[in-house]
Amino acid sequence: MATPAVYVAEDSDFSIYNLPYGVFETTSLDKRLGVAIGDYVLDLREAAHQGFLSSLDSQYFQQSDFNDIMQLDRKAWKLLRSDIQDVVYGKTSEWLKSNRGVLSKLFIPMHQVSMHLPAKIGDYTDFYSSKEHATNVGTIFRGPDNALNPNWVHLPVGYHGRSSSIVVSGQDIRRPCGQLKGNQDPYYGPSQALDFELEMAFFVGQGNSLFESIPVKAARDYIFGLVLMNDWSARDIQRWEYVPLGPFGAKNFATSISPWIVPLEALEPFQVPAPVQEPKVLDYLEQGSDRNTFDIHLSVSLQSTRMQKPQVICQSNFRYLYWTMEQQIAHHTVTGCNLRPGDLLASGTISGPDATSFGSMLELSWGGTKPLQLTETQEQRVYLQDGDQVTMHGYCQKENIRIGFGQCQGKILPAKPLAA
């Protein structure tokens, strides 16, 4: 394989095998579509202007989000990816090495760019797909004998979230205020139980028509790509409000996602069997031999204002999820609900089988009974404090092939109560 047009470190998240999509701008360039490669961003508008992206009309690259490209089919996505591969490490890249003026217009140093949400997100759904997480939460709140509700092993449980408060990695998060349960009467105040949730999410590509469902066997063709996600949660607001209809204000104040969408095609080498499902699911959720997921290593780090460097507090894996993305799509649309390009569907908290893989502070501190120790400063955490910075990472690794998701990061700012 030819060497890429720009230098790419061996341990880079953004190797030639990845080529994730994002929306960026610089001080001299407006918002536009890009692809991450090493420590650079390939400007797709400029690449189209130079005639290198011939598989799609140039109008697609005049946009400031990926929605129009998302609505195309998988064949179009593969052709575009092939064009990009040619620019990055194919015949075109060899020509670029001797044409430095064009090369410098195409590849922009990543330290010069600022990132934006990669799509206009119309609707956002959050699932509850980790059996370990659901069991942990149920045990904390209801005891081990009643940990999982009876429906959990029969369908992917989920709720409709708030797309307007989805933000890109790096944006600070304001501690929410809300109604809380007192000893006798409820009261208003800032959340004292602010939590993170380690999740992944995927962007819907082409959608389906209203009243037409998507078969589970065809569902993968509707997935454009994946991002990391932190579903910030105010547990004390949640405990008071969630009966009988579930999450509302406890989760609508902010959700962070990583800026780079890793295409499904880049993840194909990392397919692994999904967990066995017992009891047998209904036919519309049955995948048979096609029931696969992806081996994506995930971690969460926390850094307080007193710490010199972050501490890893959780290491989990996407492969633990009991319900697959295809099953989530099939269940979401079985009623005839129409998905649209740019919709975001999230996994729910991803926890593994042991305490080091629990994907939330609720679980890591076991409902507050086992405070988390920060070794550098000897601080303890039950939930997040003001100034804490949470960073999530994800990557796949097989021999010399590495696919990274970058990071999903946010820092907690103090609450801003209502004005008197």
Could you give the CA distance from residue 164 to residue 6 in angstroms, rounded to a whole number? 37
Q: Is 283 annotated as a binding residue?
A: no
What one-character-per-residue DSSP string does 37-82 give?
ETTEEEEHHHHHHTT--TTS-GGGGGSSSSHHHHTS-HHHHHHHHH
Q: Is 335 annotated as a binding residue?
A: no
Structure tokens at 41: 């961003």
Q: Provide the pairing of β-strand 173-174 with 311-317.
A: unpaired
Could you give the CA distance from residue 347 to residue 374 in angstroms, rounded to a whole number? 28
Active site residue 133: yes
Instruction: Put residue 219 in one of left, alpha, beta given phi > 0 → left and psi -120 to 50 → alpha.
Output: alpha
Q: Is 349 annotated as a binding residue?
A: yes
Q: Is 85 annotated as a binding residue?
A: no
Catalytic residue among 133, 331, 332, 393: 133
Q: Measured in whole angstroms, how far is the alpha carbon of residue 172 from the centre of its chain?
A: 17
Could you give the CA distance from residue 341 to residue 194 in angstroms, rounded to a whole number? 32
DSSP H stretches of helix in 124-172: 131-142
Q: Is 92 annotated as a binding residue?
A: no
Q: Is 197 annotated as a binding residue?
A: yes
Amino acid occupying residue 306: R
Q: Is 251 annotated as a binding residue?
A: yes
Q: Which of 383, 381, 386 is nearest to 413 (CA)?
A: 386
Q: Is 231 annotated as a binding residue?
A: yes
CB atoms closer than 10 angstroms to residue 51: 9
Could you give the CA distance from residue 258 to residue 367 in angstroms, rounded to a whole number? 28
- Strand intervals (E) in 176-249: 177-180, 187-190, 194-195, 198-204, 223-230, 233-234
Asked if the bond preceding 279 is cis, omega within 30° of 0, the reply is yes
CB atoms closer than 10 angstroms to residue 211: 10
Q: Is 94 annotated as a binding residue?
A: no
Which parts are annotated binding residues for substrate? 128, 142, 238, 242, 349
Binding site for Mg(2+), residues?
Answer: 231, 251, 255
> What residues act catalytically?
133
Annotated binding residues, written as ranges, equal 126, 128, 142, 197, 199, 231, 238, 242, 251, 255, 349
